[in-house]
Structure 1
Amino acid sequence: MSEKQPIIVIDRVTGAQFEETVLGEKWIRWAYQDSSSSIIERLLFRSPVLSRLMGWYYDSPLSKGKIQGAIDELSIDTAEFADPQESFASFNEFFVRHLKEGTRLYDTAEDTIVSPADGRVLVFPKLDEDTFVPVKGHPFSIRRMLPGISKRFIGGSLAIVRLCPADYHRYHFPCAGEIVGSKDISGALHSVNPIALGAGPDVFGENKRSYTLLKTAKAGTICYVEVGAFGVGGIVNTKTTGHVEKMDEKGYFKFGGSTVVVVFEPNAITFSDDLVANSAAGKETLVKVGEPFATAL
């Protein structure tokens, strides 16, 4: 991505395109696009030290003063908050906020797969063997992202849901099923912003991540992956075993941009037409958790 090229996203509800506001954009571009910054990039973005320090700060009462500024800059709708703004003792309490009941409605049909999170969505209906290429990015590999379990997903389909600081940062199960496996994988903490993806780091194969295997009645076995990113204080999974229902909370990300990747076996689902069309045109779609995402075959 060139220095002046904006990040354009399609609003699913209105169909309008808008330019995404990126917190810390100049620093991300400096770290990933400035040829003189390679040493700094390794120090800051491959080491977890700075992200841990940021996590500590955003967990502390010292960060509370940052809340209003973030709400204003990112145009966050405070009417959705389940708890009053003044009740948040730290920035991370605000960041992992719950929403009011009924704020995110969802399709209850058994064969409908819903979006697992609020975010910007890209879908890949039929993978070329094990590779996928995000907007302005480089080819990424399921084999690298899911070492040891990738074989069953080769030739399948995949969706990326990229969360930004403005988004609701709790993520949910896209359908009912049984948790049959999970694993945490340590790694780097690259930014998941398209600016970083365009610079070439293997975000999905190198970053810290967690995956959960969900056996479903209609859509085969789904692999649900949370990808950590620069500044993320933690990936916190609140439901890790047993049976789950559609839209049950799975967990949340602490401060920082983060990503959920949902991987399907071959011939298991078909993605919603608008997501397919926008992705084919190289555009992400702004989607809310619970909205229709795919249909089980």
Structure 2
Amino acid sequence: MTGRRTSACALALVLVAGAGGLPSAPATATAPQVTVAPAAGSVGASVTVTLTGWPTGIVQLEICGNQARRGALDCATGAARQLYVADPQPLAARLAVAAPPVACPCVVRARTLTPEAVDEAVDEAATVAVTGTAPIDLTDLTAPVAPTGPGRAGLRLAGLSVVPAARDWATLLALRGEIVIDIDLRNDGTVEAGEAQLSLLTGRPGRPTSVVEATDVAPLPAGQGTTVRIVVPVDGPLYGRYAVQGRLTTMDTVGDTDAVVFEVQTERYPWGWAALAGMLILGLLVRQAVCWRRDRRPAS
């Protein structure tokens, strides 16, 4: 009887300990960074561009004038280089310095290509539209100055993370189906980014099909950032892996390639049911032990 009781207690402790953990969430995404060395050079030379913390996918590197304020209009896209980022670890690549179409201040611009722009063999669910720049001084550039005109907003995704699930039984028992996401946005443009609309899809990785009600994002002044917290409802109890795809568009967006596109994945498991099952088994074992002892008690 002692061995049986010990086994029951050990089983209950293991199950309850497992239930005490939170549903797991992915590691938070770090803001992608771009560095260039040397930070000065001449047309025809080459520099080393290092990408850190970039999402998986194809990244395009290019030399731009006018601080890339107008996007591709300021960049030497014909001499751009593309490479594949497999993980967030630092990745260094050589880039030939080409003459941008407009004068400096110049930058090396890195941007992930949207799913529509890459080969179909690349996992579309892993592609996140992100843009970053690093300054570079070109000493012999004779390109014309960029034409002046109305400023343009430069809304970009600066960070993305899944908020850890709440420490309550509703979450542990999968009674509340929702995923909370923090979206860090920054406006690198010269004018205010107007009101934006965030469209979301949720579902299993690779095939999110459930449409989430669109969310409005307030205007963002030039040079400033903000964090938008989105609560994404999920149909049914949360169990296993889930993906949330988003597209943020503003009145300044010119075509889909300028929209802020992202995807985040997480996994949730309702460990609370294991805890309840463990407590039920423990209760049945205790009841059986009491009955067994009572049956063995000598009659008076």
Q: Which has the higher contact order (CA 8 A, sep 6+)?
A: 1
**TM-score, structure 2 as length reference:** 0.28
Structure that is richer in helix per residue: 1
User: Normalising by the residue count of structure 1, what TM-score does the alignment of the two structures yield?
Assistant: 0.29
Task: Identify the structure with the greater strand proportion.
Answer: 2
- From the CA coordinates, give the structure whose radius of gyration is larger: 2
